[in-house]
Amino acid sequence: MTLFLSVVFLMFLTVCEESIYSNQLPDENNHTLEGWGLVWNDEFDGDAIDGQKWNKLLWRPGWVNNELQAYTDRDTNVFVQDGNLVIRALIEPGFFGTDYTGTSYTADYTSGRLNTAGKGEWTYGRFDTRAKLPKGIGSWPAIWMLGSNISTVGWPHCGEIDIMEHVGFDEGNIHASIHTTDYNHVNGTQKSGQVIIPTATDSFHVYSLEWDSTYIRYLVDDEPYFFIYNDSNGDEDKWPFNKPQYIILNLAVGGDWGGAQGIDPSVFPMEMKVDYVRVFEKSENSTNVNVTFQVDMKNEIVSGEGVWLSGGNISSGQPGGLQMQPVADTTVWEVTLTLPPYSSYNYKYRNGHYPDTWSGGWESVPDECGEGSYNDRALLVGNSDTTLSVVCFKECTACE
């Protein structure tokens, strides 16, 4: 588990078996997740963890991120109770155990970590986890994914997708991120987003990931808050997310991030409760949409680095933005993005490439076509391919 992570409060409608939602499960609010079909799930309704779906990890303290807990397979640390998976962290000074390599250790804290490696692995889809997070300084729960090829190519080349991470000293601040060879927290280059969920430790919320070949989108309670577009041009150091990944659920104690402000002994036992984990694939009648953005630079001196689509959430995590290309024999620049249907974005055009800063090159959009605190342009994607009207850089309409 590395820094950060994402989301969605799903609710399902019972429908006939012949429909594309035949595998969906009803919940208390009877909403439907349209465009997706259920392919794997665990509702934790039994009396034990399903060994055909989950592996229980046996790790000694300090194995990653200088975390202080030992991960055990004991039913005091990981168990099913009242329809929930419970991952419980305990203070147990002098606890003696053996990790998966046969190495003996002693630990002052114990906890649990599950994954689906070798039992459930997916390339693309929607991943929903309904969970209630632990309260208390020193806690570090996570819902995340790792490339199944980690044993052969190593981390971070395998790719890591953090759906949800939370640290107890910063209560309610939910983090999401990706880690790759080029973009990772060791180098301070990871692409990360966050959202405040004030009741994250008091009630259940659905943390969701939508993962496709062209984008990764994070949501909480079905509200999107962070978006990453694949502009890697096939470079796996930037985007290794075209191979299977497996799910991980864990509750760490302390560590480089979780323990940055110490550990409060009064909050133990700490518990992360998980109501369900559900994996969906896109239904046959749900497809992405191609959107072509166009800007006319007629009245501008174009930077030698070209024009970029940037700002807002269209290129969140990518300060430099997404590169546009000149249209032959015109002053127009354009780029076509493949986006999820019925999604919304804000953005600006940027003259020049500034990969290490959010300053420089921005257009100033007039109030009549801008919105929000930064006066961004806005886009609502429909369900069909679209070419946006050409607008003049810094203007709402075409250049005169």
Query: Known catalytic residue: 334?
Result: no
Q: Which one of the listed residues 165, 171, 271, 363 is annotated catalytic?
A: 165
For strand 391-392 and strand 289-296, is the pairing parallel, antiparallel, or unpaired?
parallel
Secondary structure class of 351 (helix, strand, coil): strand
Cα separation, 321 vs 191, whole angstroms: 12
Burial of 236 (0-12, 13-18, 19+ CB in 10 A): middle
Q: Are 201 and 172 a contacting pair, CB within 8 Å?
A: yes
Rounded to the nearest 10°, the torsion over CA 143, 149, 153, 156 is: -20
CA distance 350 to 362: 5
Tell me whether residue 400 is one of the annotated catalytic residues: no
Other C-beta atoms within 10 Å of 66: how many?
A: 14
State the DSSP string of 299-333.
TS---TT-EEEESTTTTTT-TT-EE-EEPTTSSEE
CA-wise closest residue to 302 among 320, 318, 325, 322: 325
- Partners of 37 in beta bridges: 281
Cis peptide before 319 (omega within 30 of 0): no
DSSP string covering 246-276, please? EEEEEEEEBHHHHTTT---GGGPSEEEEEEE
Q: How far are the Cα atoms of 31, 58, 113, 243, 244 from residue 97, in angstroms, in the given order?
A: 45, 9, 15, 35, 32
Contact 90, 269 (CB under 8 A): yes
Residue tagged active-site, from 121, 160, 271, 363: 160
Structure tokens at 67: 């975390």
Q: How many other C-beta atoms can be found within 10 angstroms of the C-beta atom of residue 292? A: 12
- Residues with catalytic roles: 160, 165
